[in-house]
Structure 1
Amino acid sequence: MHFGVFNVMQQRFASVAPDQVVHEAVDQARTAEQLGFDSCWFPEHHSSNYSLCPSPLLMVAHCAAATDRIRLGTGVIVAPLQKPIRVLAEIGITDILTDGRLDLGIGAGYQPFEFERFGVDLEANKQMTFELLDMIEDGLTADSFSYAGKHFQQPPTSIPVRPTQQPLPPIWLVGSDPAFHERAATNGYAVFVSGLLGRPESIVKLRGRVETAFERAGKSASALRIGLLRYAFVGRNRAEARQYAENALYQTRIAAALRNRREHVHDSYFVDELPFKGEPSVDELLDRLIIGDVETCIERASREIRDAGVTDLVLQAKLGDLPHALAMQSLRLWMEEVVPGIERELGQPISEINRVQVP
């Protein structure tokens, strides 16, 4: 079992300067390593305050110089928005700069708001993602490669700077689409899914769908490495937990607006927070997510780890305008108090829980 942290690098209000958001994200990576987390992940988003991280590879490369051990991941590189020859070379040099600590998360993207600003057709995002994956596999392993896809083309080309991890850094295919899970099974990728607001039972069903895709490809589910991104916060009291849950609802609202073309942008890039149909209340989030005091988080996290069989649980500690100090306190409580509690609850050391069986 591995634990990671994810920082969306959100700017809820203009009173918080962008440079503060960026520097706090770097500090989170440094703190996560000191506390014993296994990985730290960064997203790719553009042109709104939902996230101020346009390049996860850039954040990974910078954080590599601020850390020594923790793995650093792209969560995700949005494949359709890339110039393949550039991103392949950047993957190679980033893995070198991390001394082989890069985890390569690749996804298709979902926000029409972003795709329109790049002039890219969102309807083609799945096929473009598969094409970029083809190019990563060929371009970073062959002496020379060319590609003739529907969306991406490349004349005979060599990428001189190759990853330290051979033949490639671990690839995590991110998304809930069964076609992605089948591609992951066929090509030996790990799977990364978002379960931010999902009920525990929905996470179990999602695991089942991934297992089905692997079995269809003739692969054993015991060899499946699956990461789950989850809202999670350990607080000292109800007020801290409620503050986190309110920020989780805020993030979900602006994500829904950007996904469903309901965004209202003011002051150049701030997305208005608008309720959406069927949204949960803050109290509902407190009742069903891994949010609360130490004992609550032990019980809920243990249940999800046991029932869903995830190998990597990635926590989003910092979001909205949650104070940086509270987010760091939560990470500390997680490693110092929740993780030992999970071991007691499940009767195994963390290193043995949901351990991937290498064929």
Structure 2
Amino acid sequence: MLYHETLKQIGGLNEEAMLSARDRMDNLIKPPGSLGLLEEIAVKVAGIIGNPRPQIGKRSVIVMAGDHGVINEGVSAAPQDVTWQMLPAFINGVAGIGVLARHAGASIAVVDVGVATDVEIPGVMKCRVKSGADNIAQGPAMTREEAVAAVEVGIRVALREIEQGATLLALGDMGIGNTTPSTAILAALGGYSVAEVTGRGTMVNDEVLGKKRQAVTSALTINNPDSADGLDVLAKVGGLEIAGLAGVVLACASKRVPVLVDGFITGAAALIAAAIEPKTKYFMLASHLSGEPGHKLMLEMLGLKPMLNMGMRLGEGTGAALAMHIVEAACRVLNEMVTFAEAGVVDMEEDKLLKG
């Protein structure tokens, strides 16, 4: 089975490459650590790829789309049809992710892994496991078998992108109502109270927020997900697009390709991937800090530092697309700056030592 084969291939960071990259970074013509997080990113990418002089070439954003039965609980201000109606805008490059992916020089793969409405949209990969996740406030989102199937969709799409030369992947999502299952995932895996982690999502007023909190509470009570089993949490309170994105993370980890986590929904997928295989955290990069209150908690659980803090909460992979520039910049610094020795410049720290 592709799922199990992928898990077997996931290892750790290449420590030798990281040590070499860190040594070079510390000897570039600048004070050590003066480029902050940029330096950490370059060293981590070196460890992911296994090359002390990493370079970023072709890049891709994978947008997984799926619907949610929990929409029937009144948890969203937007109608469910918006999910499929947005997909042509992604393909045509006129949605937020289309503009920012184009700006980043990235291609977009848009995948229907669980859209409720059966529509044919040119350019959208039709890999539907089922027509929307079931209502998590009434029972499980899907069976365990469906969860694995959706994860495998993500694995296949990511492997295809990697085989076609992608060196950096980004996670993107589309699914009306998907902040509700993402909140349930965070609460289940992090042990947080529903009140702590439930944000407003998109255009949500106090009444809808109350319904959302109740839906998450019901989902956790009725389904009782096992926090020690990431696949169980996914099947019981997750979503199909979240499953697909978790599969993308697993595939990237198995092939040693860095993957950019976007906001709250993709953060939930990253949590699921890490719960399934903790070593996947080594291959993730956090693009930004979302405006959703629970996103900070997700990143803390994953041990990731966000590159940007811009109050963004659109999803789609928009923050991850922006961060592609930063990842490339980090690698360019490592490769294109010279060391003190190469430049024939006295190392400032060494000069201090010599002068006593």
TM over 0.5: no
| Higher-Rg member (1/2) | 2
Output the TM-score relative to the length of structure 2: 0.29
Greater RCO, 1 or 2 (C-alpha within 8 Å, sep 6+): 2
Output the TM-score relative to the length of structure 1: 0.29
Structure number with higher helix proportion: 2
